[in-house]
């Protein structure tokens, strides 16, 4: 009963995370009409870093971490993915830009299969191929958006997959706030290059959207991390696709971005393929203790619901 409640709370958290990320991308799209994308990355990262430090102070925990080298590498990959993602949002239709970034699980599986020699379900290669075909349809149906902008969107997903592969072993040792701190701190430093071309000071009307970017990304990342600690990725990952679905809706309502039939078919193919991959693409099965109540253990050796290694996914799904 306790584990059912834990998994239900994980699903709720992933839905909240998806909603938070949708607020973030909508705010980025609004701001990109007035501010350079790298400047948005800087302000978002700086505000996010301050939020993390404030939360760590309230909880009286250290964010220095144990595996600092790997945390820094994850931060670099995350910064590259974020910068490319925000740039793509400023150039492409919102739903298309977001869904391209959400192809990261495809690259996670490809890299795991070919470079890490991981074993997985026989259906996975077919589903990966189907999803990449969906990417082709999504871009091809976008009426001439093939080119550098689409490439940067796909590259943002590649860097996201690098970040998640790097972080896979960190979740056993590092707190969520520590992981988010390194990401936001390195992104703040990396995006400070925006000062070289002259900083465009935001107008008063821009600050609510900047707050939406910072708060949406902070809570989205935090809730997603906790959700993945409480339940298997195969359970919670499909709910993260609420973000690109809402992005297509926002694009239509707020920016008049209509989706072509071929792009719609591609989007559906990617989402269906991604949901199936979240089930069949798990690189290892959860142990029995992740689904039923374990035997009594001593207080010194028992993990909490947010620390149990068996509850950690073999791969992170999306953002």
Separation between Cα atoms, residue 139 and residue 100, nearest integer Å: 9
Average pLDDT, the chain: 83
Separation between Cα atoms, residue 258 and residue 102, nearest integer Å: 20
**SS3 per-residue string spanning 97-155:** HHHHHCCHHHHHHHHHHHCCCCCCCCHHHHHHHHHHHHHHHHHHCCCCCCCHHHHHHHH
The whole-number pLDDT of residue 253 equals 96
Residue 313 has pLDDT above 80, yes or no: no
Written as six digits, the tokens of 39 are 């400047």
pLDDT tens column, 242-282: 999 999 999 999 999 998 888 999 999 999 998 888 777 65
The whole-number pLDDT of residue 180 equals 86
- The torsion region of residue 143 among left (phi > 0), alpha (psi -120 to 50) and beta comes to left
Q: Whole-model pTM? A: 0.82
The whole-number pLDDT of residue 33 equals 93
Written as six digits, the tokens of 147 are 């080119």
Higher-confidence position of 177 and 245:
245
To the nearest 10°, report the CA torsion of 179, 182, 185, 189.
-140
Domain boundaries, the chain: 2-288+304-311
Higher-confidence position of 304 and 199:
199
Tell me the pLDDT band of 155, cut-offs 50, 70 and 90: very high
Q: For the residues of 31-49, what is the DSSP string, one character each?
A: HTTTS-HHHHHHHHHHHHH
Tell me the pLDDT band of 294, cut-offs 50, 70 and 90: very low
């Amino acid at each position: 009963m306790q584990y059912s409640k834990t998994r239900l709370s994980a699903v709720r958290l992933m839905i909240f995370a998806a909603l938070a990320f949708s607020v973030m991308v909508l705010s980025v799209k609004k701001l990109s009409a007035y501010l350079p994308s790298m400047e948005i990355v800087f302000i978002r990262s700086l505000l996010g870093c301050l939020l993390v430090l404030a939360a760590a102070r309230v909880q009286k925990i250290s964010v220095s971490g144990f595996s600092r080298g790997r945390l820094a590498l994850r931060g670099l990959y995350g910064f590259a993915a974020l910068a490319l993602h925000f740039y793509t949002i400023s150039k492409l239709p919102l739903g298309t830009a977001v869904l391209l970034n959400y192809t990261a699980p495809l690259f996670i599986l490809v890299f795991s299969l070919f470079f890490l020699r991981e074993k997985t379900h026989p259906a996975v290669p077919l589903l990966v191929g189907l999803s990449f075909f969906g990417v082709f349809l999504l871009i091809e149906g976008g009426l001439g958006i093939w080119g550098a902008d689409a490439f940067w969107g796909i590259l943002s997903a590649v860097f996201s997959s690098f970040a998640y592969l790097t972080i896979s072993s960190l979740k056993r040792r590092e707190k969520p706030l520590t992981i988010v701190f390194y990401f936001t701190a390195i992104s703040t430093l990396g995006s400070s290059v925006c000062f070289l071309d002259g900083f465009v000071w935001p107008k008063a009307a821009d600050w609510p959207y900047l707050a939406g970017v910072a708060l949406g990304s902070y809570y989205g990342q935090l809730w997603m991390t906790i959700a993945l600690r409480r339940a298997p990725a195969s359970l919670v990952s499909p709910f993260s696709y609420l973000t690109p679905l809402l992005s297509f809706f926002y694009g239509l309502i707020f920016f008049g971005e209509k989706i072509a039939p071929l792009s719609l078919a591609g989007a559906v193919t990617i989402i269906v393929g991604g949901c199936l991959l979240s089930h069949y693409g798990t690189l290892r099965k959860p142990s029995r203790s992740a689904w039923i109540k374990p035997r009594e253990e001593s207080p010194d050796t028992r993990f909490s619901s947010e620390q149990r290694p068996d509850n950690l996914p073999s791969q992170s799904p999306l953002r």
